[in-house]
Each structure stands twice: as C-alpha cells, then as structure tokens.
C-alpha cells in the first residue's frame, strides 16, 4: 500500500524535490500554505506531514500545534535550513515527531520521512487490532432440544366382578373380631389441679400504646444503624482548583469595555471577519464589532450557548482551567466560529464568504491570542 505524505513549503527546493526522491512508494502532495494543507488534512489525513519552520502567514510550529486539536492522527516533521535550538525545544514540547535543522538536515531527510511513515502505519494497525479485540465475539446459538415423543400407554382390559361378589375389606368381614379399648391405668387429677382448672384465666397484659415512651425506647435500642447512600460527586468550583489564579469576577464594565472592543476590532481586521461578538453564557450579546445584518443571531446564539453548557461541565469535572472548546460551521455562504472564554463568555466570529473566506489556521492562532487578552482585561480584581 502506498504511503501518503504532505509537504508544506514556500520556496525550499529540497522539500519540493521529495516526490522524485521518494519514488512510487510514497504519494506526495505539496502545499504552499499551511492553511490549505490543514483543510485538506482534516478531510483526508496522511501518514506524515513535513513543513518548513518559516512559512508565511502561519508558521510550521503553529501548524504542528494546531493539528492535534483537530484529532488528526499523523506524524509531523519540521524542517529548517538554519540551526534553531529555540524552535527545536518548542517543537519537542508540542510533540513533533522529528525536528530537522542545520546544514546536515538534508542528509537525514529521507530516512526521517520513511521512519515517520512506517511508525504511523504501525500505529494505525495496532489501534485497529485493539479495537477488534475489544469487540466481544457473538455467543453461539444454543442447540435445539431433542424432540420428545409421547409414549403410548397400553390399556389392560379388566373384567367386571360377578354379581353379588363383595370386595375383601376387613371391616366388611362379619367374622372379624372386635376388641373394646380398656385402659390399663387411669390417673385422676389432684385437688390442686382441679382448683386451677376451675379458676378463670387472667386476661393477657395490655401492650403499650404505639408511639409511647416504652416502645420508642425499645425501638431506639433495637434499631440498627441504617446505611446511608453515598452522596453524588459535586462539580469542583473553579476557584477551588489548586493553582488557579484568583482573578476575581469576570465581567464587562465601563472601564474595560474599550479594551475589549479594541481586541475584538483587531481580530476582525486581521482575519477579515464580518462580525465579532462577545456574549454571556446565555447567548446575550455584550460587545459586538462589525455587522450581522440578515443573520438570525438572536436565535443562533442561544443555541450555541446550549451546546457549550455541556462542555463547561466536562471542564469543571476534569478540573481544566484553560480548556478551549470551539464550534465550527463551514457553510456555503457563511463560516462561523465560536470559542469558549474561561467557561463564562463566548467569542463568536462570522465570515461572509462572498467578502472574505476564513482560514482555519489563522482563526485558531489569532482567536487563542485574543482569548488570552480578553481574559486579562475581563478580570476585575
């Protein structure tokens, strides 16, 4: 089976020559933009991806950081002609399969790519084997019970007794001897026993009334301690999580609304969004930038808030302070992105495809930066 490799490069000739260097055993796709590669990767993920570190728009490091968030099972390699130890440490922290840099990177490029392809194929086969082993085998159908044929019972003809004949019964025998019962000894009751028999029996003692002191005391002594059901686990408040910053109440006030609006205007300008909105957990718009005319946002936003309520509970039980949940709508006319902001607000970005198309990689990177800035400005100590 042929391997699939994605190459993301702008002008690097070594990476562009990979289709000829790898031969027919590897199917190579070349993309000049990390965003274009990411869209294709979501639909048809390859076994491995190799990207330049220095890419226009979205860098190779940002691409490697985004890929795991979309649950894409692929090995990522990064390539740089120059020695860059800082980028190498960052790549190791985000789980890059291999970081190739420096003048000798081209010599080990072929071996590193084939190793990544083989490792991805083996990981896929192992996951499939584990999933197959987890499926229980169907139980064999029980064999049908053998058919039991009814036995035929023969009847024996019995002739009738002759008239006048009598059955042989010992009670009907006139000659049977009868003996009268005569006790061998009779014991008469004594005078004391006769007096006791003549005395009427005393009535039984009246039981104590139900609920009286005696019954309650006895019940309290004999009552066994009842086992109480274990209480259900309650979600841990975010303020009680160890290591959580005490940032106070997160609210939009007259003092921070200008800073919030500035952050939202900046992300709208950088991404070309038609509208950027900050809402509360119920979907009520608090701050908006741009326009959302001809869109039923008063209906859409409460629906989005309902879907994010479950994600917030999951984060609370897992004690995830900085968990980031995102909803993506990729439509024919509009693209919509909705991000959770510290389980208190929603950041909604709307793109009109007739005006500007959204780039998922750029949206992800800029939205994460904007959320960090919003969190700092919404903290009211």
Query: Residue 158 — left, alpha, or beta (φ > 0 → left; ψ -120 to 50 → alpha)?
Result: beta
CB atoms within 10 A of CB 52: 22
Which residue from 336, 358, 332 is spatially nearest to 346, judged by alpha carbons?
A: 336
Judge whether 110 and 91 are in contact, CB under 8 Å. no
pLDDT of residue 222: 53
Q: What is the pTM of this model?
A: 0.49
pLDDT of residue 281: 80
How does pLDDT run along the chain (381 residues), one tens digit per residue?
A: 789 999 999 888 999 999 998 988 899 999 998 888 888 887 888 999 999 998 887 888 888 888 887 777 899 999 998 888 888 898 988 889 999 988 888 889 999 999 999 998 888 888 788 877 776 666 666 676 666 565 555 555 545 555 555 545 444 454 444 444 444 444 555 666 666 666 666 665 555 555 444 444 455 445 545 555 555 445 444 444 333 344 445 677 777 888 899 999 999 988 889 999 999 888 888 889 988 877 888 888 888 887 777 766 776 777 766 667 888 888 888 999 999 887 788 999 999 888 877 788 888 888 888 888 888 888 654
* Helix spans in 29-108 (H): 34-43, 60-66, 85-93
Q: Is 255 exposed, middle or buried (CB count within 10 Å of its CB: 0-12, 13-18, 19+)? A: exposed
pLDDT of residue 7: 95
Which residue from 273, 247, 284, 269 is spatially nearest to 374, judged by alpha carbons?
A: 247
* Helix spans in the chain (H): 13-16, 18-22, 34-43, 60-66, 85-93, 109-134, 191-198, 213-222, 257-271, 297-317, 360-378
Which CATH fold would you assign to the domain 253-380? Beta-Lactamase (3.30.450)
**What are the domain boundaries of the chain?**
3-126, 253-380
pLDDT of residue 137: 63
pLDDT of residue 195: 65
Judge whether 363 and 336 are in contact, CB under 8 Å. no
Q: Domain 3-126 - what CATH class?
A: alpha beta
The full length of the chain comes to: 381
> In this predicted model, what pLDDT tens digit does every residue of 320-365 receive, in sequence order?
666 678 888 888 889 999 998 877 889 999 998 888 777 888 888 8
pLDDT of residue 198: 61
pLDDT of residue 114: 92
């Amino acid at each position: 089976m042929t391997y699939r490799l994605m190459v993301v490069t702008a002008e690097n000739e070594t990476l562009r020559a990979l289709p000829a260097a790898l031969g027919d055993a590897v199917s190579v796709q070349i993309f000049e933009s990390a965003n274009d590669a990411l869209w294709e990767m979501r639909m048809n993920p390859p076994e491995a991806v190799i990207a330049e570190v220095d890419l226009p728009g979205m860098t190779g490091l940002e691409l490697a950081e985004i890929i795991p968030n979309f649950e894409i099972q692929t090995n990522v390699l990064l390539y740089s002609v120059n020695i860059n130890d800082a980028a190498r440490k960052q790549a190791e922290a985000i789980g890059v399969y291999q970081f190739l840099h420096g003048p000798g990177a081209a010599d080990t490029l072929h071996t590193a790519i084939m190793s990544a392809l083989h490792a991805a194929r083996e990981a896929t086969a192992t996951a499939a084997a584990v999933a197959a082993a987890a499926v229980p085998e169907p139980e064999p159908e029980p064999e049908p019970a053998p058919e039991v044929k009814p036995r035929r019972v023969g009847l024996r003809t019995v002739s009738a007794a002759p008239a006048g004949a009598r059955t042989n019964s010992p009670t009907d025998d006139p000659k049977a001897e009868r003996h009268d019962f005569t006790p061998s000894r009779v014991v008469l009751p004594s005078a004391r026993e006769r007096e006791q028999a003549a005395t009427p029996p005393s009535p039984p003692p009246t039981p104590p009334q139900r609920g009286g002191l005696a019954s309650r005391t006895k019940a309290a002594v004999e009552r066994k301690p009842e086992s109480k059901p274990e209480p259900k686990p309650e979600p841990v408040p975010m303020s009680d999580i160890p290591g959580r910053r005490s940032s106070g109440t997160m609210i939009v006030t007259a003092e921070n609304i200008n800073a919030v609006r500035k952050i939202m205007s900046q992300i709208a300008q950088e991404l070309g969004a038609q509208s950027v909105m900050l809402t509360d957990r119920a979907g009520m718009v608090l701050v908006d930038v741009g326009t959302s005319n001809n869109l039923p946002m008063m209906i859409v936003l409460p629906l989005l808030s309902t879907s994010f309520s479950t994600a917030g509970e999951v984060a609370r039980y897992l004690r995830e302070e900085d968990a980031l949940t995102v909803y993506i709508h990729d439509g024919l006319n509009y693209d919509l992105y909705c991000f959770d902001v510290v389980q208190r607000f929603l950041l909604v970005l709307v793109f009109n495809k007739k005006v500007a198309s959204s780039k998922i990689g750029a949206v992800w990177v800029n939205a994460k930066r904007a959320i960090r800035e919003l969190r700092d400005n919404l903290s009211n100590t």
